[in-house]
Structure 1
């Protein structure tokens, strides 16, 4: 099983790319638990919710891992939970980082916020590019500090899709690494 993580700031294409990757290569997509949590609770999150949200994200990830798909595509993982907790509340439960470091991920695709428009959806809260760029830097810094494998994706939607498909083909050892239309 190969485990791929899409990470980066909001509105950079993670969920869309997860679907594009699954459509091309199959596998199982694990979505963002926090979106489910907010829809279910019908309120903004508070610091006391962080642990529950993280446990929910891990439960979804663990259930998908247990099925042992050839490709597991994570729309997010605990890194986003940690960074959002720090961003919104100035703190984060220590166990999140410990748990994140204990898990194996084969590849992260880090999405740059520049080059694509921000789209509000009722849950997103960083319309300013400078805020999303800071979140992107925090993601990159954590991945680098912790020796995590990652590639950065940027450009317009088409360029991101193309780069993601090439990265996943390489991860899976696919003979076709062009991943263009018709492949």
Structure 2
């Protein structure tokens, strides 16, 4: 289970910018601002989206689905032709 590390078009690498840090420190706001400044796509945090849809507290059994969701989000963005993508978080910081 790994996210793609490059733009699959093969001609140019895709710069991945990941905003990482503690909860409630403004990561999402910073990621959105960077995306706006650079005209780059922005990816929301998969774990937050998962929890919002879940309707209950996260359990250990949710770890793998959260990781799979984050990888799917990253892969979907990396499948495009953008030269830069701003990620609110990544698999390691989720």
| TM-score normalised over the length of structure 1 | 0.43
Aligned to 2:17: 4
Distance 1:2 1:80 in 2: 18
Gaps of 5+ in 1: 82-183
Task: Give deviations 1:31-52, integer Å, cap 9, x for gaps.
Answer: 1111111111101100110010
Distance 1:40 1:55 in 2: 15
- CA RMSD across the alignment: 0.9
Structure showing greater radius of gyration is 1
Structure 1 residue 12: Cα displacement: 1.4
Aligned to 1:29: 42
- Does residue 74 (structure 1) correspond to residue 87 (structure 2)? The answer is yes
- Does residue 60 (structure 1) correspond to residue 73 (structure 2)? The answer is yes
Structure 1 residue 11: Cα displacement: 1.1
Distance 2:64 2:81 in 1: 26
DSSP 3-state at the match of 2:16: strand
DSSP 3-state at the match of 1:78: coil
Distance 2:64 2:18 in 1: 20
Distance 1:78 1:51 in 2: 11
Moved over 4 A (4+): none
Structure 1 residue 68: Cα displacement: 2.6
| TM-score normalised over the length of structure 2 | 0.81
